[in-house]
Chains A and B, each alone.
Chain A
């Protein structure tokens, strides 16, 4: 084996993952090659230091509280409870869709209807900043984690759609934007209501449903574009 071939085997040689029948030739070469010896020493130093790193690092002390709040909310979502009949209602997809439409109809923020894709992004930023200011309750704090994930996904999908817009039919773009505006209105309505009533789980469910609806619509449109 040549020097170049052996150099590519040094990683496996050092970690003991090199085939047994190849080891003698590599060892013989290393014994007579200063470059490869230095390489082996360097690799061993790195691997030894990596193995010596602590396997456990204590997470921030308050990390559990948000997790607990989220899973408590999950538990409530699957356990029948007379007091939560409203929440159960809102979890039905048809009810979420109806809520979105209803919120849009009742919305007084007519100007939002004229916002374009860029303003959609601005709305998302506004939502994100309002989240920062409204972590008064455990439920809301837990939802904030989910909401941040929604916002990241929506931003990525928005970027994709911006890039793909030229390949979509104008009427499709118009319909998509109109639908997104409707959903954004519902999101803003629910977000504003939640700012006034942070402990309202029905509103959290409704907001979560609106985000899912928005992501689903954007994702389906992006997939449709890729498939065309």
Chain B
């Protein structure tokens, strides 16, 4: 997979410092909301790894598209900072913004793709992906990248990011049944590909 270095998970804070850290994080957000770009850069440094990982997986491992999407997410975040009220964690707000940005960008692409390749014929996409990697042992990231878009979105948001069916359905604007069907499909395709 075409990715940059993986950022190691850091050890979590002691419970006694959690309150202080939350207050400091909120203070950083408030400073950014007041127009402090340096504070916003701190937020970027803290959250860009998670947002980029999400973008990279949603964009099928394309680093260029993922970088552009991530930049778009943070620019939108800056412009909409005033709408963040602190009702949820800033990371959750940013995450939701990332998914919405991806979906908005994808709507334009989907109309164009639909004219080139009928959406019901996704088996051709799968076949193409298969033929290019038939002799390769694919790792999980590569396998996810070959999934059809709907299945990939459902899988990344549910199994990698930990969203609930209902949350994903609301974000993607489809029914819970559709999300479950996409997950079912994604897991079976991944299983097939990883067992090859």
Overall SS of chain B's interface: helix
Cβ distance B6 to chain A, nearest Cβ, rounded Å: 4
Residues of chain A lying within 8 A (CB to CB) of residue B48: 59, 63-64
- CA–CA, A74 and B67, complex, Å: 20
Residues of chain B lying within 8 A (CB to CB) of residue A55: 9, 49-50, 53
Cβ distance A218 to chain B, nearest Cβ, rounded Å: 12
Is B159 touching A50 in the complex (CB atoms < 8 A)? yes
With A50-B160, A148-B68 as contacts: A58 and B112 at CB distance below 8 Å: no
CB of A135 closer than 8 Å to a CB of B: no
Cβ distance A181 to chain B, nearest Cβ, rounded Å: 23
Is A47 touching B78 in the complex (CB atoms < 8 A)? no
With A51-B159, A57-B6 as contacts: A67 and B112 at CB distance below 8 Å: no
Binding site for B on A (CB under 8 A): 8, 11-12, 17, 42-43, 45-47, 49-51, 53-60, 63-64, 66-68, 70-72, 74-75, 145, 148-149, 152-153, 155-156, 159-160, 163
Cβ distance B184 to chain A, nearest Cβ, rounded Å: 5
- CA–CA, A57 and B67, complex, Å: 11
Query: Residue B4 contacts which of A46, A58, A64, A148 (CB distance < 8 angstroms)?
Result: A58
CB of B35 closer than 8 Å to a CB of A: yes
Cβ distance A149 to chain B, nearest Cβ, rounded Å: 7
With A11-B183, A54-B6, A56-B7 as contacts: A42 and B41 at CB distance below 8 Å: no
In chain B, what residue has the closest Cβ to A156?
A: B108
Is A145 touching B187 in the complex (CB atoms < 8 A)? no
Residues of chain B lying within 8 A (CB to CB) of residue A145: 68, 71-72, 75
Cβ distance B181 to chain A, nearest Cβ, rounded Å: 10
Question: What are 12 A-B pairs at a CB distance below 8 A?
Answer: A46-B190, A51-B160, A53-B140, A54-B9, A58-B4, A58-B5, A58-B7, A59-B4, A63-B52, A63-B67, A67-B75, A67-B78
Cβ distance A12 to chain B, nearest Cβ, rounded Å: 8
Is B155 touching A155 in the complex (CB atoms < 8 A)? no
Is A149 touching B72 in the complex (CB atoms < 8 A)? yes
Is B6 touching A153 in the complex (CB atoms < 8 A)? no
- CA–CA, A148 and B70, complex, Å: 15
> Within residues 22 to 78 of chain B, which ones have a CB less than 8 A from any CB in chain A?
35, 37, 40-41, 44, 48-50, 52-53, 56, 63, 66-68, 70-72, 74-75, 78
In chain A, what residue has the closest Cβ to B110?
A: A156
Is B53 touching A11 in the complex (CB atoms < 8 A)? no
CB of B141 closer than 8 Å to a CB of A: yes
